[in-house]
Amino acid sequence: MDFADDKHLDVCQNIEFGLKQQYETNSRLTDSLCILALDNAKIAIKQQFGYARNERVSSDENVQGIISWCVSVGMGRIDKVNDLSLKEYVSRLEKIKGSVILHAGDGSRSYYHFIKNFLP
């Protein structure tokens, strides 16, 4: 499934809105840190539902905003809006991470430069 035929595309856009805000408020945020944050957000949201209890979430201050945003979006949407499951939400985080990885090859904040023109 690609972005064009994703029935939860609005969830991806909501997550990316928060990523854009984090890039704009934290000049030290790089694509590498964003990738780390998204990996940790997957763990953190799973923990909210009783899973991944033995896994640790990073305490790096540069990634906390993204982790918190992703958990907040997940808690507001999973099992509440459009039949979004935890598994589907984690899949959206992974999809966005893939996009960050793709754009990161062009520079340390290339993902931000890619999304900033598509989001308010």
Parse the chain into domains and list their residue ranges. 10-115
**Which residue in 111, 25, 21 sits closest to 73, CA to CA?**
21
> How deeply is 34 buried, as exposed, middle or buried, from its count of CB atoms within 10 A (0-12, 13-18, 19+)?
buried
Residue 68 has, within 13 A of its CA and on its CB side, a CA count of 9
For 6-30, what is each residue's pLDDT tens digit?
677 789 999 999 999 999 999 999 9
pLDDT at 2: 53
Which helix H or strand E contains 39, and what residues bound it?
A: helix 31-48
pTM of the model: 0.92
As a whole-number percent, the residues of the chain with pLDDT over 90 amount to 82
Cα–Cα dist 14/18, whole Å? 7
1 pLDDT band, cuts 50/70/90, is very low
Query: Which of 9-13, 54-58, 71-75 bottoms out in mean pLDDT, i.e. has the lowest?
Result: 9-13
